[in-house]
Chain A
Amino acid sequence: MAKIKGTVVIDTEHCKGCKVCVVSCPCGVLDLSSQVNGKGYNYCYMANPDACTGCASCAIICPDTCITVYRQKFE
């Protein structure tokens, strides 16, 4: 059966750790890291990468446009 999988790349230096992407992801993929970036923000990362479908909800809502989304179909 064909499977749609996604992945995201987060610009961790632009990220301000606002968390709106985390609560907008329908698949529970994202979370805030315990690590901080150059500005001292706990940046966002893929805590559960296998669940990503590449729907781009996180990227659409990110106020700082930090997220790039890829999606691929596997036959």
Chain B
Amino acid sequence: MAEFEVQKTQENLVYSRTKVLTDNVMHYCPGCSHGTVHKLIAEVIDEMNMQDKTIGVSPVGCAVFAYNYLDIDWAEAAHGRAPAVATAIKRLNPDKMVFTYQGDGDLAAIGTAETIHICNRGENVAIFFVNNGIYGMTGGQMAPTTLIGMKTATCPYGRDPKLHGFPYKIGNIVSQLEGTCYVTRQSVNTPAAVRKAKKAIRKAFENSLAGKGVSFVEFVGTCNSGWKMDPVAANKWMEENMIPAYPLGDLKDI
């Protein structure tokens, strides 16, 4: 097939790693949604030519080391407090593009107050929220987002609403607040979903620069290790269980 040998030239290049990603190998487990979401944020920052003007706030959770992977300015916040830190950064640096990156334990449990109030104040910040239904970093404990019946280290017989309360959709809650301009729920389990998720990230960043208030982008994601599944099975389980409970699509767009 020598006549069809594709030349690996710049001219023929259709996809390569963005320069906003560092060369570090991510510490995430194989197939983890965090890697895909990091990559998309990096690509959007690159395409918007904002590498020198972006400040991220990383959470406590598996994504605590996000600052090792995206070559931009970062601050690291205490558990759940990324929205408070991002508020200060954005108010002091109004020309910078500021975002938080948070998991569900961080954003929807210990950080609930910060999440609600940044969304109510309408700071010009983008929030990227990875909802994997579990506390990944600490070994797979129940999160507020854990599905009914889902087994975790702290609900080994499955989540029972009588004992553990109900899973809640914090995206729906913040969509009710005046300070949010864009609230959407996305996923990164197929190439088509990844393309859509990337558009949502771009829109969130553009809204923050346009001074429209908080854009809240939730990614329904997987935690293969916490769920005790291989990455392909975890994506399938997510499609069958997580997405029906956390339906994808825009909740608000003004």
Contacts and interface: CB of A to CB of B under 8 A. Distances in A.
B28 A70 contact: no
A20 B15 contact: no
Interface of A: 3, 5-7, 9, 13-14, 16-20, 23-24, 39, 41, 50, 54, 56-57, 59-65, 67-72, 74
A56 B26 contact: no
Nearest to A68: B16
A36 to B, nearest CB: 13
B31 A18 contact: yes
A63 B231 CA distance: 11
Interface stretch (B5-13, B92-100, B178-186): B5-13
Interface in B1-32: 1, 3-4, 6-9, 12-18, 21, 25-26, 28-32
14 contacts: A6-B6, A9-B8, A14-B25, A19-B31, A19-B232, A20-B231, A20-B232, A56-B14, A63-B28, A65-B21, A65-B35, A68-B13, A70-B6, A71-B14
B195 interface: yes
Given A20-B31, A20-B232, A56-B191, 18 more contacts: A5-B6, A7-B6, A7-B8, A13-B25, A16-B31, A18-B30, A54-B14, A56-B14, A61-B190, A61-B191, A63-B32, A63-B35, A64-B25, A65-B18, A68-B13, A68-B16, A70-B7, A72-B12
Contacts of A74: 3-4
B141 interface: no
A70 B5 CA distance: 11
Nearest to A56: B15
A71 B25 contact: no
A66 to B, nearest CB: 8
A16 B31 CA distance: 8
Nearest to B198: A60
A24 B1 contact: no
Contacts of B14: 6, 54, 56, 69-71
B231 A65 contact: no
B235 A63 contact: no
